[in-house]
C-alpha cells in the first residue's frame, strides 16, 4: 500500500539561509535516524525555529538511547534497560512538537521530486513524504562477515538495545552447560565456569570483555591485528594488553577467526586460521562498524574513498538540500586534514547541532575531529586525542618530536595518587601540539588531562602554552605543576636545547650512563650501561669521555634530566633517554614490562 503526502516545495537557495522558500507555507525538515546525531539535530532545530515542521524517522523501536551504555547493561552495571532510553516519542512530541515515527524505515530518496519513501516495519505500508531539507543520520552497521556458523545461537553483536536484551536473556537462561547443577539444585555447591569469546579488540570489544569478566566469565579476546585499541601507539597498547591479562583475560592477537561450529551441550567452538579451537558458551562480535550508505546511494550522493557519505564543514552532502551526520559520514581530521570515519557520540552530537544551525540560517561549521576518546578498563583508563605517532609515520611526516613522562595523578603526598603514563607529540618546527596518549589506574586523572589537551589541540596551542596553562589545583585533584604543565615544560626543554633527548626505539650508539642508585640496578639494569649515581656525578666527571655522546637514563627520566643539565654545562655531549627505564619497558619488546606499576 502506498500513500503520498504534500508536494515538495520549490528548491531553496544554496546555502540555505531561508527556511521559508514560499511565504505563508511551513518548511518541512525530515530527519532519518535518531539516537545521537538525528535526535540532537531535531531538538536543536526546534529550539531555533518554532515554525518549522519536523519529522523524525527511526527504523528501530527507540528514537534516542545511550548506545555507549550497552556493554554496561550487558554486565549488569546499568541494571535497568529503561535507564538507557534518553528520550521517547512522547518526549519529542510534548516538549518539542516533533512528529516521531519509530519502526519506520526510509527506503528511497527521490531528489528530483524532493520526496522520501518510508516503509512501516509493522504493516509494510509504504508512504511518500515531501521535504524541503533532509537530514541523514543512518549510523553504521556492525561488521558481520559471512563466516561459517556465524548465525549459530549464542553469537551476538552489541549495537542496539534489542542486542543487549538478547545477550542478557542468553546469559540468564544459559545453554545446557551454563545451566549446570547450580541452576536447578537446591544445594549451591559450585558454579560452573562460563566461557566467553569476544572478537574484536576495539572500544566495544574491550568494554564487553570487562563487563563479562564482572559477570564471572572466563574471557578470551580475539584481535586480528597484533595489538588492541588501534588508535593507540604500540607501546601504550602493550600496556593495555598487560592490564587485561592481569585481570584474567586471555589474548589471542594476530589471529583471525575462520568460523564457528556447534560444540557439546549446546556450546560453541571458535575456529581460527592458525588452526586453533576455542570453546565458548557465548560469542560477542565487536568487529567494528561500516557506514550505512544504502539510502544515500539512492539519491546519488557522493560517497568518499573511506566508504562514508562525503560532507563539507556545514554537514552538507553533494546535494545542497540534504545533510548528513554521525557514524555514516566522512569528515576531516582536525590535525592531519585526512578524510576520516569516526564512530563517536561526541562528534555526532556536535555535527547534528551544526547542521541544525545551518538549516536555521546560521553560519555554523563543524571543525573536524581529533578522535578524542577514553576507555575504562577494570578501574583504569586509556585515553588519546589528536594524531598518533604511527599516523604521522604513515603520512611520512617527520616534523615531530615526542616526550614520555610519568607524573602522579595528584600530589604524591596525598593518599591515592597513581602514576600517569603520558606521551605528547608536537612539531619540531614550531612546538604546535599534535597529539597525546595517557594511561593510569586513576581513570578520572587520565580523562581530565587528555580532555585538557584535546581543547589545547583544537585551539592550536604550542608546548609553551601548555607550560603556562593555569589549571585547577588542590592536593587531592592535581599538583601545583599539573601533568599538562609538566608535559609542556619537558617539551619546551627539548626544543630549547636544554634537554636533548633520545629514544629507546631509535638507533643509538652513545655511551649509556645510568644515574640510578645501585639498589635499583639489582632489580633491573641495562647490559653495558655504566652506573654513576646522580649524587656522585659531579665528583666523577673525569670518568666520562667528552668525545663520545652520552645517553643518560634513570627510572622515569627526571634524574636523567638533572644529569643532562649538569653534563651539558660541563661541556659534554649528552642526551636524555625520554621516560627512562619505564619507557624502555614498553618500547623494547624484550625488556621486562611494568604493567603492574602503571595500570
* CATH number of the domain where residue 121 is located: 3.50.50.60
Task: Output DSSP code: residue 63.
Answer: S
Q: Is 361 helix (H, G, I), strand (E, B) or coil?
A: coil
Q: Which residues of the chain have pLDDT under 50?
A: 1, 4-18, 20, 22, 181-184, 186-189, 590-597, 599
Query: Do 525 and 425 belong to one domain?
Result: no
Task: Output DSSP code: residue 143.
Answer: P
CA angle (13 as vertex; 7, 17 as ends), nearest 5: 105
Query: Do 217 and 136 belong to one domain?
Result: no
Cα separation, 583 vs 454, in Å, equals 23
Predicted pLDDT at 66: 85
Residue 593 lies in a domain: no
Q: Is 443 helix (H, G, I), strand (E, B) or coil?
A: helix
Are the C-beta atoms of 576 and 490 separated by less than 8 Å? no
Rounded to 10 deg, the angle between the 37-48 and 345-359 helix axes is 30
- Tell me how many helices (H) and strands (E) the chain has: 17, 34
CA angle (501 as vertex; 495, 504 as ends), nearest 5: 145
Domain count, the chain: 4
Residue 594 lies in a domain: no
Query: Do 275 and 331 belong to one domain?
Result: no
Residues 403-440 pLDDT 10s: 999 999 999 999 999 999 999 999 999 999 999 999 99
Predicted pLDDT at 176: 54
Query: Do 353 and 379 belong to one domain?
Result: no
Cα separation, 23 vs 585, in Å, equals 70
Predicted pLDDT at 24: 55
Q: Which residue out of 68, 104, 472, 554 is catalytically annotated?
A: 554
Cα separation, 552 vs 564, in Å, equals 7
**Global model pTM greater than 0.85:** yes
Residue 222 lies in a domain: yes
Query: Do 512 and 450 belong to one domain?
Result: no
Q: 465: phi > 0 → left, psi -120 to 50 → alpha, else beta; which? A: alpha
Query: Do 68 and 129 belong to one domain?
Result: yes
Rounded to 10 deg, the angle between the 203-214 and 234-246 helix axes is 10
Residue ending a domain, choose from 247, 263, 287: 287
Cα separation, 566 vs 220, in Å, equals 50
Cα separation, 86 vs 69, in Å, equals 11
Cα separation, 52 vs 37, in Å, equals 19
Residue 554 lies in a domain: yes
Residue ending a domain, choose from 442, 474, 496: 496
Are the C-beta atoms of 31 and 135 separated by less than 8 Å? yes
Cα separation, 400 vs 431, in Å, equals 9
Q: Which helix (H) or strand (E) holds 244?
A: helix 234-246
* Domain with 462 in it: 373-496
Query: Do 295 and 283 belong to one domain?
Result: no
Predicted pLDDT at 13: 33
Residues 362-371 pLDDT 10s: 999 999 999 9
Residues 6+ apart with CB under 8 A from 73: 79, 81, 83, 84, 164, 168
Measured from the Cβ of residue 566, the count of other Cβ atoms closer than 10 Å reads: 17
Residue 81 lies in a domain: yes
Query: Do 483 and 462 belong to one domain?
Result: yes
Query: Partners of 223 in the beta sheet?
Result: 253
Q: Whose grid coordinates read 649528552?
A: 574
Predicted pLDDT at 493: 97
Q: Is 413 helix (H, G, I), strand (E, B) or coil?
A: coil
CA angle (64 as vertex; 61, 69 as ends), nearest 5: 100
What are the CB-based long-range contacts (under 8 Å, 24+) for 24-28?
26/51, 26/52, 26/53, 27/51, 27/52, 27/53, 27/132, 27/133, 28/52, 28/53, 28/54, 28/55, 28/129, 28/130, 28/131, 28/132, 28/133
Query: Do 474 and 534 belong to one domain?
Result: no
Query: Do 132 and 198 belong to one domain?
Result: no
Residue 75 lies in a domain: yes
Report the 3 state secondary structure along 257-326.
EEEEEECHHHCEEEEECCCCEEEECEEEECCCEEECCHHHHHCCCCECCCCCEECCCCCECCCCCEEECH
Predicted pLDDT at 19: 52
472 is known as an active-site residue: no
Query: Partners of 423 in the beta sheet?
Result: 404, 437
Predicted pLDDT at 510: 84
Query: Do 530 and 543 belong to one domain?
Result: yes
Residue 424 lies in a domain: yes
Query: Do 515 and 491 belong to one domain?
Result: no
Residue 366 lies in a domain: no
Nearest to 404 by CA among 233, 180, 200, 274: 233
Q: Is 199 helix (H, G, I), strand (E, B) or coil?
A: strand
For residue 215, say if its preceding peptide bond is cis, omega within 30 degrees of 0: no
Q: Which helix (H) or strand (E) holds 173?
A: helix 161-173
Residue ending a domain, choose from 258, 287, 316: 287
Q: Whose grid coordinates read 566467553?
A: 196
Measured from the Cβ of residue 148, the count of other Cβ atoms closer than 10 Å reads: 11
Amino acid at each position: 500500500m502506498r500513500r503520498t503526502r504534500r508536494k515538495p516545495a520549490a528548491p531553496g537557495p544554496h546555502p540555505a539561509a531561508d527556511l521559508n522558500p514560499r511565504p505563508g507555507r511551513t518548511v518541512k525538515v525530515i530527519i532519518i535516524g535518531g539516537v545521537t546525531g538525528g535526535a540532537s539535530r531535531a531538538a536543536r532545530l526546534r529550539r531555533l525555529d518554532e515554525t518549522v515542521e519536523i519529522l523524525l524517522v527511526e527504523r528501530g523501536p527507540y528514537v534516542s538511547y545511550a548506545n555507549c551504555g550497552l556493554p554496561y547493561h550487558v554486565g549488569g552495571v546499568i541494571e535497568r534497560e529503561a535507564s538507557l532510553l534518553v528520550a521517547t516519542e512522547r518526549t519529542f512530541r510534548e516538549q518539542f512538537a516533533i512528529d516521531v515515527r519509530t519502526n519506520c524505515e526510509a527506503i528511497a530518496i527521490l531528489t528530483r521530486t524532493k520526496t522520501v519513501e518510508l516503509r512501516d516495519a509493522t504493516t509494510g505500508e509504504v508512504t511518500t513524504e515531501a521535504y524541503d531539507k533532509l537530514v541523514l543520520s543512518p549510523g553504521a552497521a556492525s561488521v558481520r562477515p559471512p563466516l561459517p556458523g556465524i548465525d549459530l545461537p549464542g553469537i551476538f553483536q552489541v549495537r542496539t538495545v534489542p542486542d543487549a536484551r538478547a545477550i542478557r536473556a542468553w546469559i540468564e537462561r544459559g545453554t545446557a552447560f551454563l545451566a549446570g547443577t547450580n541452576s536447578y539444585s537446591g544445594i549451591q555447591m559450585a558454579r560452573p565456569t562460563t566461557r566467553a569469546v569476544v572478537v574484536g579488540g576495539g572500544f566495544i570489544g574491550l568494554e564487553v570483555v570487562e563487563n563479562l569478566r564482572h559477570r564471572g566469565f572466563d574471557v578470551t579476546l580475539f584481535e586480528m591485528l597484533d595489538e588492541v585499541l588501534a588508535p593507540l601507539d604500540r607501546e601504550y597498547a602493550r600496556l593495555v594488553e598487560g592490564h587485561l591479562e592481569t585481570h584474567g583475560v586471555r589474548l589471542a592477537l594476530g589471529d583471525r577467526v575462520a568460523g564457528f561450529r556447534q560444540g557439546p551441550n549446546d556450546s560453541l567452538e571458535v575456529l581460527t586460521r592458525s588452526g586453533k579451537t576455542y570453546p565458548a558458551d557465548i560469542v560477542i562480535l565487536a568487529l567494528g562498524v561500516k557506514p550505512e550508505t544504502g539510502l544515500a546511494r539512492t539519491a546519488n550522493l557522493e560517497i568518499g574513498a573511506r566508504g562514508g557519505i562525503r560532507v563539507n564543514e556545514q554537514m552538507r552532502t553533494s546535494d545542497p538540500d540534504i545533510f548528513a551526520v554521525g557514524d555514516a559520514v566522512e569528515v576531516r581530521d582536525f590535525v592531519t586534514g585526512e578524510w576520516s570515519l569516526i564512530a563517536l557520540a561526541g562528534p555526532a552530537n556536535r555535527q547534528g547541532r551544526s547542521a541544525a544551525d545551518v538549516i536555521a540560517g546560521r553560519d555554523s561549521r563543524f571543525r573536524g575531529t581529533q578522535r578524542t576518546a577514553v576507555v575504562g578498563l577494570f578501574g583504569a583508563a586509556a585515553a588519546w586525542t589528536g594524531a598518533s605517532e604511527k599516523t604521522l609515520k604513515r603520512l611520512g611526516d617527520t616534523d615531530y618530536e615526542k616526550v614520555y613522562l610519568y607524573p602522579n595523578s595528584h600530589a604524591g603526598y596525598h593518599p591515592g595518587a597513581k602514576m600517569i603514563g603520558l606521551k605528547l607529540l608536537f612539531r619540531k618546527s614550531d612546538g604546535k601540539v599534535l597529539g597525546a596518549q595517557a594511561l593510569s589506574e586513576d581513570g578520572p586523572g587520565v580523562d581530565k588531562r587528555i580532555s585538557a589537551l584535546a581543547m589545547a589541540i583544537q585551539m592550536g596551542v604550542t608546548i609553551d602554552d601548555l607550560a603556562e596553562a593555569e589549571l585547577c589545583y588542590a592536593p587531592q585533584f592535581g599538583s601545583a605543576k599539573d601533568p599538562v604543565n609538566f608535559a609542556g615544560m619537558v617539551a619546551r626543554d627539548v626544543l630549547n636545547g636544554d634537554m636533548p633527548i633520545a629514544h629507546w626505539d631509535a638507533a643509538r650508539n652513545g655511551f649509556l650512563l645510568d644515574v640510578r642508585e645501585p639498589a635499583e640496578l639489582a632489580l633491573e639494569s641495562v647490559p653495558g650501561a655504566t652506573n654513576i649515581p646522580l649524587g656522585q656525578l659531579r665528583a666523577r666527571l673525569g670518568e666520562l669521555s667528552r668525545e663520545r655522546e652520552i645517553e643518560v637514563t634513570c627510572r622515569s627520566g627526571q634524574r636523567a634530566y638533572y644529569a643532562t643539565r649538569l653534563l651539558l654545562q660541563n661541556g659534554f655531549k649528552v642526551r636524555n633517554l625520554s621516560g627512562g627505564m619505564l619507557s624502555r619497558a614498553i618500547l623494547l619488546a624484550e625488556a621486562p614490562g611494568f604493567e603492574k606499576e602503571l595500570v
